[in-house]
Amino acid sequence: MKREQIIYENQFNLETINKFASLMTVGNGYLGVRATHEEDYTEQTRGMYVAGIYNKALPNETSDLVNLPDLVGVKIKLNGQLFSLLDGEILSYERQLNLFNGELKREVMWMNKDGARFKFIFQRFVAKDKLHVLASKVTIISLDKEVNLQIVTGINAQQTNFGRQHIIEEKLRIFEEKYMQGIYTTTESGHTVALASSFLYPSESKVSYGAKNRQLQSTVDQKMVVGNPYVFEKVGTVFTSLNNIDVTDLDKLSLNSIKHYASQGYDLLLTESALKWKEFWEDKRIYIHSTNKFDQQAIDFALYQLEIMTPAHDERFSVGAKGLTGEGYKGHIFWDTEIFIKPFHLLNDPKIAKQLLRYRYLKLEQAKEKAIKNGYNGALFPWESAFSGEEETPEYAAINIKTGERQKVASALAEHHIVADIAYAVVNYYQATLDDEFMKKEGLALLKETSRFWISRATEENGKLVINNVIGPDEYTEHINNNAYTNYMAYYNVEQALYFMAMYEEVDNLLIKLCRDFLDRIYLPKPNGNNIIPQDDTFLDKPKIDLTSYKKRQGSQSILLEYSRKEVNEMQILKQADVVMLLYLFPDLFSKEVILDNLYYYEKHTIHDSSLSKAIHAIVAARCGETTIAYKLFKEACLIDLGPNPHSSDEGLHAASLGAIWLAIVYGFANISFKKDRLALNPELPAEWEEINFPIQYRRTKLIISLTRNEVNITRVFGPELVIEIGNQQYLLTQNININLSNFYVTKLRENTTTKGD
């Protein structure tokens, strides 16, 4: 285990307490538990979430990812004084999230106000091999004095989503003086949640149980002798009615499980879970030999988080914008999943990618209903989605406290590119897997219905089809016409539908005719005299301002403090650049010169207030051989969650930006792309990287790709032989290959373009 695979916190700091609670989340895709301290702090937001458990607190609100009753909190009293690190003196403090085995561990040496010293070790993990299990262990050593120790812990249903309560307390039980169980239901969505907790303490302890004010608690009293470690373990299980179990049996399952797992004990459970993590890292880890050790940590962190945010166990839900790390965006699912998160899974474990697409397929009916409601045909997927598949975007934004008005949120009404993003992900999946079984059924259904939407969405102007009044990924320009990203994506969507209909001999003549007509007549913005592709019909005519000061405060949306949203809309100011996004998704659509010119033009006007922005710019820059700027952007993208901003991640991590770290390495610097019938590789490593090494799965073949600045080494681990294009050359990969890169096109292009720059 290398030091890079550990996330450290070396100081107790209230200011970053919620950032680290998100960063150090433990989970397994089913369950996510924020890394809140066992003891309470007023600024600390506890959170435990189960993928798919959403609820509406009020009829006119949208669904929240429910913050479940807490299992993690422990009150510790020493001679009647509540333990808090604010009190007394911290003699030493170190907390670490071990990415390698999934364990969160905190070691504190602390002196109370009377000068008595104590050592605390807090350990916790969510089992990787057992979806429903979390476990914790607390060790307390009194170093100077005999003291009375009291520990209070249990299941606390006072937890809310920032004051919104979703949970009804149905049953509370103690079994065998040892197991606590709470059965809860959600108020609107009707899910049942069975939480159980065992509490193992030394046998000489005095224990009592009680339930009051939505808390089920056990209290243990014990004399602590000097130097003698007091150790207690708390194992928890979480089951819900989503587990397809008859609700009447949930209690039994919950009780039997807690008995079983508690009897195994913390250490054994951890060993078993750690084995699964070991497999994960052996299978999927990326190695970066960089002069900057942080690069390795950033990608390890990203992979750990991508793994624990993805509900690989169930196709009925997908990945929320904050994974299971916090309540930002209410746990809703955006285009982030298909475009930023799915690729990692696609090239590592394609069945997870399929499952994420199956989620959309299973919500096709709701998408069709949304299309009809909005006056369109086909499938209009919700901008924000949750369990039901219905539109979950709040109808109104937060109240403008100066005017008292709530602005209508336009995303659900106009941010339609998500439809094509899903279609893109479907095709992408097929390209990497050739999974005809999926493509014939789910894939084709998705492609056809999304095409139907675009056909109905376009309107005719002077013989051309135009797509008016949309919002592209750049949410600083709303209600614009012929957004380049949207129009090209729509074109691709319909084109691919036609392609796969032909391939599978689908006889839907009317749709085929409509698709052809759409492709013939849809307006696709072309580069202007300066090579610039207009982001929309009016964008390039809008005034420009100097964005330097706002760029310095990236991510804070500081521009909106000085300009109204409407004013921003009327200037060349981008949250993220749609054209750059387009160039990322279609690397071969324009010449490298056009790509570079657009990259620099739009970057200048982009604040990068979106966490999705930088890594994509990095990819496009890397592909153009602009590795210096690419690496700079990459490093900045890695800091979105891991950087010094104390509040960047309070309400959860930026799931898409974590996916984008992987994208930047694999699709950017390694420059992997899918040609129609083969995989292509055009690496452009930054000067700081001596070597990178990563696995991918492509069409059932698993490869390990090792790259230096001059060499490509590819090992075929398993699967059929494969043609790979490296530079302009094609190679048949039978076993391992080793290629010297020095004469290649990409390098040449870089030499041609070094006169450009920012």
- Select the span of 198-206, 399-407, 479-487, 493-501 touching a copy of itself (CB under 8 A): 399-407
Which stretches of 172-287 are DSSP H helices? 247-264, 266-284
Tell me if 174 contacts a copy of itself by CB under 8 A: yes
Tell me if 210 contacts a copy of itself by CB under 8 A: yes
DSSP 64-118: EE--PPBSS-EEEEETTEEP-TTSSEEEEEEEEEETTTTEEEEEEEEE-TTS-EE
435 neighbors 500 (Cβ within 8 angstroms): no
19 neighbors 648 (Cβ within 8 angstroms): yes
Tell me if 91 contacts a copy of itself by CB under 8 A: no
User: Which residue's CB is nearer to a copy of itself, number 214 or number 605?
Assistant: 214
Tell me if 168 contacts a copy of itself by CB under 8 A: yes
Tell me if 372 contacts a copy of itself by CB under 8 A: no
- Select the span of 36-44, 98-106, 607-615, 731-739 touching a copy of itself (CB under 8 A): 36-44
User: Which residue's CB is nearer to a copy of itself, number 70 or number 421?
Assistant: 70
Task: Measure the CA–CA gap between 617 and 339, rounded to whole angstroms.
Answer: 14
Token representation of residue 437:
């079984």
* Of the residues 1, 14, 268, 687, which one makes contact with a copy of itself according to CB under 8 A: 14
User: Which residue's CB is nearer to a copy of itself, number 163 or number 720?
Assistant: 163
> Is 336 annotated as ligand-binding?
yes
- Which listed residue (38, 307, 475, 626) is catalytic? 475
Number of residues located near a copy of itself, criterion CB under 8 A: 41
Tell me if 402 contacts a copy of itself by CB under 8 A: yes
- Select the span of 84-92, 194-202, 594-602, 741-749 touching a copy of itself (CB under 8 A): 84-92
Q: Give the pairing of strands 689-698 and 287-290.
A: antiparallel
Beta-carbon contacts of 126 under 8 Å, excluding residues fewer than 6 positions away, are 26, 27, 28, 31, 32, 33, 102, 133, 134, 273, 308
Token representation of residue 504:
């599978």
Greatest extent of the chain over all pairs of C-alpha atoms, in Å: 88
Q: How far is the CB of 35 from a copy of itself (least distance, A)?
A: 17
Tell me if 556 contacts a copy of itself by CB under 8 A: no
User: Which residue's CB is nearer to a copy of itself, number 402 or number 566?
Assistant: 402
> Is 342 annotated as ligand-binding?
no
Burial class (CB in 10 A: 0-12, 13-18, 19+), 34: buried
| Nearest by Cα to 333 from 351, 316, 352, 348 | 316
Task: Give φ, ψ of 659 to 5 degrees.
Answer: -60, -35
Instruction: Please tell me the total number of residues recorded for the chain in this structure.
Output: 758
Task: Measure the CA–CA gap between 348 and 117, rounded to whole angstroms.
Answer: 48
Tell me if 676 contacts a copy of itself by CB under 8 A: no
Told to judge if 475 belongs to the known catalytic residues of this protein, a careful annotator would answer: yes
Binding mask 630-649 toward a copy of itself (x if CB under 8 A, else -) reads: --------------------
* Of the residues 79, 84, 388, 693, which one makes contact with a copy of itself according to CB under 8 A: 84
- Select the span of 151-159, 271-279, 411-419, 690-698 touching a copy of itself (CB under 8 A): 151-159
Q: How far is the CB of 394 from a copy of itself (least distance, A)?
A: 13
Q: How far is the CB of 402 from a copy of itself (least distance, A)?
A: 6
Task: Give φ, ψ of 606 to 5 degrees.
Answer: -105, 125
- Select the span of 209-217, 303-311, 492-500, 667-675 touching a copy of itself (CB under 8 A): 209-217
User: Which residue's CB is nearer to a copy of itself, number 201 or number 631?
Assistant: 201
Q: How far is the CB of 40 from a copy of itself (least distance, A)?
A: 4
User: Which residue's CB is nearer to a copy of itself, number 215 or number 576?
Assistant: 215
User: Which residue's CB is nearer to a copy of itself, number 214 or number 716?
Assistant: 214
* Of the residues 79, 96, 139, 160, which one makes contact with a copy of itself according to CB under 8 A: 160
> Is 689 annotated as ligand-binding?
no
Token representation of residue 326:
């916090």
User: Which residue's CB is nearer to a copy of itself, number 217 or number 241?
Assistant: 217
Element (H, E) at 172: strand 167-175
Token representation of residue 243:
């587990």
Tell me if 247 contacts a copy of itself by CB under 8 A: no
| Nearest by Cα to 658 from 25, 16, 139, 18 | 25
Q: SS3 letters for 356-419?
A: HHHHHHHCHHHHHHHHHHCCCCCCCCCCCECCCCCCCCCCEEEECCCCCCEEECCHHHHCCHHH
For the annotated binding site, the residues are 335-336, 575-576
For the annotated binding site for substrate, the residues are 335-336, 575-576
**Residues in the site for a copy of itself, rule: CB under 8 A?**
14-15, 39-43, 57-58, 80-82, 84, 86-87, 157-160, 162-165, 168, 171-174, 187, 209-214, 216, 398-399, 401-402, 404
- Residues belonging to the active site: 475
